[in-house]
Amino acid sequence: MRPIIVIVFLFAMSLLLASCDSIEDYFDEDDDGATQGGSGEISTDTTAARQESQSEQRSTDKIFLDAFDDFSCSANWTDRDGALGLSPHSGSGTCTAEFPGEPGNYLITIKIQTEFDGRSPYEVTVNGTVIKQGEYPLSSSLYCDCPLDDWRSVCPDKDVTVDCGTHALKPGDTIGFWGDEVYPCGDHGSYAKWHGMTFTPVP
């Protein structure tokens, strides 16, 4: 009886091992297939979703170009009371920057810093074409009567946002600012002080 039992046992073991191999093979193939197909699809979906999300973000976010940090300017601009303004008696000056945003229509605004003692003339350009020109408003109706020794508290500079209209822009367009100094009240004047421009996407 014993030899028969051993033979039966060995036969049963060989069957078991054979079936284990085939089960292993089955799972191997299944794993490989799932891993390749799954990871490929997931990575494609994730990339597409990320790009779409970034594109949406780009097209809805405002862009601010800082007068100090983002524009290249002629040498006669300096920090004047917190804004970028012309050095006294240095004449007019220009600044340019490349538009960094996506192609589209943008409402362009410029933040200027007005003074009590002069209306600086200015221009905003896109690729050399004037899109806005004018003179700074006065910060105070006192005008030349503002006491010089106390102008910072009596008739201080005031920030004003100027609407330059909606324009079609593309990456690399040259955004320009030109300003001039004026002296209607004596040796102290207005220096075309400004802070920067904001570009708001218009659907």
Q: Give residue 53's region: left, alpha or beta (phi > 0; psi -120 to 50).
A: alpha
**Cβ proximity to Ca ion, 6 vs 144, nearer residue:** 144
**Cβ proximity to Ca ion, 99 vs 116, nearer residue:** 116
**Shortest reach from residue 189's CB to Ca ion, in Å:** 6
Among 117, 124, 138, 169, binds Ca ion (CB under 5 A): 117
**Cβ proximity to Ca ion, 75 vs 187, nearer residue:** 187
- Residue 155: DSSP 8-state: S
Euclidean distance between CA atoms 23 and 12, whole angstroms: 16
Among 63, 84, 113, 115, binds Ca ion (CB under 5 A): 115
Euclidean distance between CA atoms 169 and 165, whole angstroms: 12
Coil, strand or helix at 116:
coil
Choose the binding region for Ca ion from 40-48, 84-92, 109-117, 174-182 (rule: CB under 5 A).
109-117
> Can you spell out the DSSP letters for 21-74?
HHHHHHHHHHHHHHHHHHHHHHHHHHHHHHHHHHHHHHHHS-EEEETTTT-EE-
**Shortest reach from residue 94's CB to Ca ion, in Å:** 20
Alpha carbon 58 to chain centroid, angstroms = 8
- Count of residues of this chain found to bind Ca ion when the rule CB under 5 A is applied: 2
Run of H or E residues at 161: strand 158-169
Choose the binding region for Ca ion from 12-20, 33-41, 95-103, 113-121 (rule: CB under 5 A).
113-121
Choose the binding region for Ca ion from 25-33, 73-81, 112-120, 192-200 (rule: CB under 5 A).
112-120
| 181 binds Ca ion, rule: CB under 5 A | no
Q: Residues in the site for Ca ion, rule: CB under 5 A?
A: 115, 117
